[in-house]
A and B are shown apart, each in its own frame.
Chain A
């Protein structure tokens, strides 16, 4: 089971780097995410349009899973923006994972702006089937 632990109120927050100083005023978005569990793994799918395969950053520290994605700035010389339904910015989202994960076998792929993360459950965390014997 994975659950979200942060939820910004306004949809975007200002970004701070490790030093604590505000490095940029670019908005930060929470990617829309699907999480499902199969018998032996937890799969996380996060919509991060604009994020290339090399620009996603995933960390799992103890039970805290952090997904980050950097979006290159969209340059349009000689153009001015007249209408906007989405903002440009980076992505970040944090989840807690309550299952033990086999860290060595985590697989991450990025395709068409979607991050697919497969977190295999550790052997001991897998549900054991107990056979009931009839007497």
Chain B
């Protein structure tokens, strides 16, 4: 995997140190990357005047295996990501994709109307549009001059 130029120069005393250094760098790069993406699925939140859009990256999950629930100002995304293949029957070279059941609860900036939720799932991206209930909308109050 790692190529060192030992052929021409003979024994390279620093090859092992370099190799270890590379390994360490790689190890910590992995830890960092994993810690940042631990919550599955990752979500983005967009706010409009009286509505919200939540997007989530959920590749490899069939829409039928996704479950969405809305309660007051929380949104829960649940689902199941199946293993692509029987693990024992194949030789794995790389395994980075998470699998299994997942559940994610997202706190929303305001209460939403559970009857007015629209969700779309395109190419592994879930997009949920939520509306603020009529009664909760902020009202502009006119100030009268005395």
A35 in contact with B92 (CB, 8 Å): yes
B57 in contact with A113 (CB, 8 Å): yes
Question: Which chain B residue shows the least CB distance to A5?
Answer: B1
CA distance A80 to B125 in the complex (A): 18
| Count of chain B residues near A, Cβ 8 A | 42
Indicate the member of A32, A52, A112 with the most B CB atoms within 10 Å: A112
A86 in contact with B60 (CB, 8 Å): no
CA distance A110 to B47 in the complex (A): 31
A79 in contact with B94 (CB, 8 Å): no
B46 in contact with A80 (CB, 8 Å): yes
CA distance A7 to B1 in the complex (A): 14
Chain A residues with CB below 8 A from B121, complex form: 112
CA distance A14 to B26 in the complex (A): 21
Chain B residues with CB below 8 A from A79, complex form: 46-48, 51, 53
Q: In the complex, how many angstroms separate the beta carbon of A114 from the nearest chain B beta carbon?
A: 4
B43 in contact with A34 (CB, 8 Å): no
Q: In the complex, how many angstroms separate the beta carbon of B97 from the nearest chain A beta carbon?
A: 5
| Count of chain A residues near B, Cβ 8 A | 38
Is B71 an interface residue, CB under 8 A from the partner?
A: no
Chain A residues with CB below 8 A from B85, complex form: 36, 43
CA distance A42 to B125 in the complex (A): 27
- B residues with CB within 8 A of A: 1, 26, 29, 33, 37, 39, 42-49, 51, 53, 55, 57-63, 84-85, 89-98, 109, 121-125
- A residues with CB within 8 A of B: 1-4, 7, 9, 11, 32-38, 42-43, 45, 47-52, 74, 76, 78-86, 110, 112-114
